[in-house]
Amino acid sequence: MTRKGSNFAGLSVAITTPFKDGEVDYDALRAQIEFQIEAGTVCLVPSGTTGESPTLSHEEHERVISAVVAAASGRAKVMAGTGSNSTAEALRLTKWAAKEGADAALLVAPYYNKPTQQGFYEHYKAVAEAVDIPICVYNIPGRAAKNIEPETIARLGEIPNITMVKEATGSLDQASQVLATTDLTLLSGDDSLTLPLMSVGGEGVISVVGNIVPKDMIALVDAFNASDAAKAREWHFKLFSLCRDMLGIATNPIPVKAALQMLGRDTGDLRLPMTPLDEQSQQKLRATLVAYGLL
């Protein structure tokens, strides 16, 4: 079965938003985009969790989306993070992304206010019906405080331009039910679960570790797609410690920004309430990067 979002199969990277002296560093953002395009990344995902979207002003959020679309200039797809726990705000941001030429929008489940399943449905339906671009439903109960149940995702999948789900529940059962009951393209929302999710029908990943080693993540996906299970497992185990630490040492995107700083690719600046890694965590992260062969 060809799934309706399969043109987004492969590696998408949830890019960070570089900051310098408290402001968005657009030169560093453009450098990140060139790095990803050179690596062969299919899709750039700005202004998501990894992009510290909760701390971007409305104007910055829009400008970051516009800057990424302009810099990518058709060489890679752009799936703009436009989610909010306010349907009106999600609508406004998604309309902006569509107007600016984004190829799709990633909408995180409304967080904190914990809608009912019907509320989730109405939220996504309202946005999807207002724009023409494809929508990816981002299900991450660990941040949103509530799961979008598979039955609700199945209902959402009947809406024509809801074409993808970013699966970050950690449940292979949930992923399997979504794949069995919809024609949505499923993308992993956890780097370390990319191979397990692809084994049941997922088609790629929206990656954090791809900020650092996009070519390696592409190699894992390509090996699986070439039916080389041994090679895919080899990449899975090589990447595992790096994937684990990007999400495990501290809250994303604190570790990935620290890693980019160590690799000379970012200032590492964060916005409150995100704070830098302490010395012990920095040493652990540095050891992981050394063990991987990056330092």
166 carries an active-site annotation? yes
Query: Of these residues, 121, 138, 146, 257, which one is catalytic?
Result: 138
Q: Which of 187, 208, 29 is nearest to 106 (CA)?
A: 187
For residue 219, give the amino acid letter.
A
Alpha carbon 284 to chain centroid, angstroms: 24
Query: Of these residues, 77, 146, 166, 257, which one is catalytic?
Result: 166
DSSP-derived 3-state class of residue 239: helix
Q: Which of 88, 175, 164 is nearest to 133 (CA)?
A: 164
Burial class (CB in 10 A: 0-12, 13-18, 19+), 156: buried
HEC string of 73-116 equals CCCCEEEEECCCCCHHHHHHHHHHHHHHCCCEEEEECCCCCCCC
For residue 245, give the amino acid letter.
D
138 carries an active-site annotation? yes
Return the residue matching tokens 């994303």. 252
Token readout for 278 is: 């302490």
- The residues assigned a catalytic role are 138, 166
